[in-house]
Structure 1
């Protein structure tokens, strides 16, 4: 008998028929003797509908009331799924985040989990029930409903799996696993049998949308085996686990992640003096804008060129922050480009293999793709290129590193 935590996303529970299909799948695990906790998202489109309702009432809705509002989407799903499980002849009990309770801090819309009281869930499991939990939400110490941010149901599932010391946390979605890259860009992208927490974290942070970053961090911290599976077709999916449990003869590169949502800002001719990096990035940080890649070059006559990237949605605000601080920066030239993209090679095999970066650069040069910025870590090489070359670059790198070939 295994204790399994399963999570089903919005598309997996998007209709009554799909909820009934999920109930049948869960019943199959329960009938073979497994204890099952099911975490669900709101039905697809429901959260957006609720947000639109709020925006129709006011341009500046209260963060507290927004969390109260959007948390209701999951409450609908847990009730419907519990009813569907009961129709299958199972005992099922639903819980909102506050009923468990799943304790969080009081940061509305971006709350972080602090503690989970697992007594009720364990008692129900031991009594033979399937437990159905609303994802994405919790409660603070003052009893206020909080939400964990978009994709937070993944984090709820992993956190519950950690608290319950589950044998596996299974994330059911509309794809059948983690691929070497986006199959919509590369036709022969290959599903990975396994990937390490480190690799998945890099893939998620560099643009892969399969799992929420926080859920991968949580799983790695508490060593919760994660498996990504399809709600719509049977298969082994992709296991995400620690490096020692993954084949030591893994390929050098596991996958290619990319993001189109990048923008680049160049501060040209700033004084090359101690503290100039802080003077440039301080005003940007004060606007709560996250900076990704950074390059600083020493120019002529004691001047420096400073280049960094931000999310495209923050591009205009970042430029405005720098213009407001221009005098303190010595009135440098501020140049922007929001037509860039980032492509990243990810793989733990880089630790023991040289030449990955040079092979990457050669493959891009052969296709005439110019590299504008470079960033590396122990298991990642990222480059910034013109957005128009993104798909060409991804296909060229996928071919150069033979990622369509298992075990290469």
Structure 2
């Protein structure tokens, strides 16, 4: 892109295309609205959260070649908010001069968890030991012959997200309801903490990173319940996590954001779990707590603008709002008025009209000068607000 065009993103004829219209896209649109950057969004659902905030909304199948290709022909720069898109179409667009970030090369590598794990091995990046299977049905035979041992973590090679496509297998009966798909098994790591570092890399090669965050997961849904920034870890472990995330970033040569999820083992080693090449749940705290939030930073990366300050202004805790068990239907946020009375609390409602168990419906950020006080308020938020349906099932 020429220098003259670099100055024409704002209040101009430039159009940013976004594949995926969910909550990540919606929060990215907060920033395009702030800067008056025109946007065009495509999502399979006519009720996608992005539909109201973009300049143009298109309903379409993100995995269909023709649909993605024709959408991309009518934008200047194309980005994603979900990895499950048709990469062949992105490659065709890139060959014809459309700028696509993250690049199709990055997405093809990351989209398949087996390919992703092999990438770590090839580049000497520490990760949990694993085994590959063309089909889940092959795992029984491997257990019989000592190829793998219980317990382990089963992961679908593709299309897993928000706790889907991942299961801890403690006995053979746990395998029964799993889909018979390409998959991997991973040694179950006895870890202290799950950590994440978001690395931002501009298309001009500039790199910055956010502080290490700590993630607390729901034991049943395998979803993040809390994200704490800064993580409650030693400086030595934080340094190791940042260095590991930067190694992944350098090896991948991504453009945009890269969320690197890691395990802190009982011996204080750091192992890479997986990565996401986009704004990420682990960075939502940054909207209130950071000088430059992750969504603005993503725009800065893919447009080649100067990268922003990633420091935190205050400690931040993010609480995920997910649909309550036993509730499905038109959503109601019970007691939201009560949490608004708490100090430093900001709710973000994603705009999904229908709730179901464990569906991500929003998040709440708590900021405070003191991390322990922020975590205490976060617990109160979690106990107070309930995402329920107006009619219980």
Q: TM-score, normalised by structure 2?
A: 0.29
Q: Name the larger-Rg structure.
A: 1
